Structure 1
Amino acid sequence: MTPALAHIQSLPSWLAGRVAARGRSLVAEALAAEGLKLAHHAVLAATADYGPVAQADLGRRLGIDPKDLVGLLNHLGGAGLVLRAPDPADRRKNAITLTPAGTAALTRCAALAETANAEFLAPLTPAEQGTLTALLTRVREAAEASGGSEA
């Protein structure tokens, strides 16, 4: 019989959680060089993809609580990386856009995240890295299809 803790630690869900925590930690450490956190990077990326975007829509797309998003946007705005202005479509709402400095920061953050992920996946061959990414993508897509989506 397998000891109880060893059994838990052999479960794919436990392994995925531990590995994900290490990956997030490496990326978070890398982004700290820019004075940013993972959530800041996500806001910059989503704003680049969807901007100008209503602040409320941005929060919904990322699954970030509105109060938390205000703090993130205050930090990014204070650093000159995003602009908040009345939404031309509905002046009661704020629209978020990237500044040129925000675009440059996003480019640097993407490079830092790539470097951190290369370190993270270094124990695997390039073929294994591709297989792992493909398998994780399938599991994520299945989770999202069953209603378990998360930003």
Structure 2
Amino acid sequence: MRDRWCEGPVPPDPVLRLPTHLVAEFLRLARRTSEELYPAEELRRPHVVTLAWLADQGPMSQRQVSERLRVGPADLVGVIDTLERLALVERRRDPADRRRYSLHLTDEGRRALRERRVRGERLNDTLLAGLTEPERDTLRSLLLKALAHHDGRFASAADQGPVDPPTE
């Protein structure tokens, strides 16, 4: 078996029996492939996931975004700063509590999210090119089931079964 990043066959290795190792290797492949497809991309996964949460849930505080994404508040500040600098998100005073700010997705943020979803589909198609559609559905279902066991945020998606591709 050969891939485009290493020379020669991949030696048989008992570690290849560990799904966690395979997931880690797949994530490394995904990162490399994403950087090849979109080399100058400033927005990375945390940015896009934040945009998606705001698009789905509407304006919310940084604390709420931090809790929903399970990202430390200090780490989220840099993500929000980047999104704000790119005019994808606006911080506005929360009218219900003037001490807080709420995050609002801008029209440019919505456009950027639609574009990133198209790019995400292309990345998935590239990474999963060796799988049939039913195999992709099975992979997705198994990953969601494993995640839902540990994290309730994934439970409803795991119960839904296969999903249609985004239509935005």
Higher mean C-alpha displacement, 50-59 vs 103-112: 50-59
d(CA) in 1 for partners of 2:26 and 2:129?
Answer: 13
Please name the residue that 1:84 is paired with: 91
- Identity among equivalent pairs (%): 35
Judged with a 3 Å threshold, the aligned counterparts in structure 2 of structure 1 residues 139 and 28 are, in CA distance, closer, same or farther, namely farther
Aligned residues: 141
Pair 1:55-2:57 in alignment: no
Alignment of 1:38-117 (within 5 A): 38-117=45-124
Taking only aligned residues, the RMSD between alpha carbons, in angstroms, comes to 2.0
TM-score w.r.t. structure 2 length?
0.75
TM-score (norm 1): 0.83
Q: Name whichever of 84-93 and 21-30 sits farther off.
A: 21-30
Residues 32 and 109 of structure 1: is their aligned pair in 2 closer, same or farther, counting only changes over 3 Å?
A: farther
Residues 30 and 98 of structure 1, relative CA distance in 2, 3 Å threshold: farther
Deviation at 1:26, TM superposition (A): 3.3
Do the aligned residues in 2 keep the contact of 1:27 with 1:117 (CA within 8 Å)? no
Unaligned segments of structure 1, at least 5 residues: 146-151
Give CA deviations for 1:68-123 in whole Å, capped at 9, x if unaligned.
21111111111111000111221111100100000000000111011100101001
* 2:130 partner SS: coil
Q: Which of the pair has the greater relative contact order for Cα pairs under 8 Å at 6+ separation?
A: 1
Kept in 2: contact 1:53–1:96 (CA 8 A): yes
Shift of 1:29: 5.3
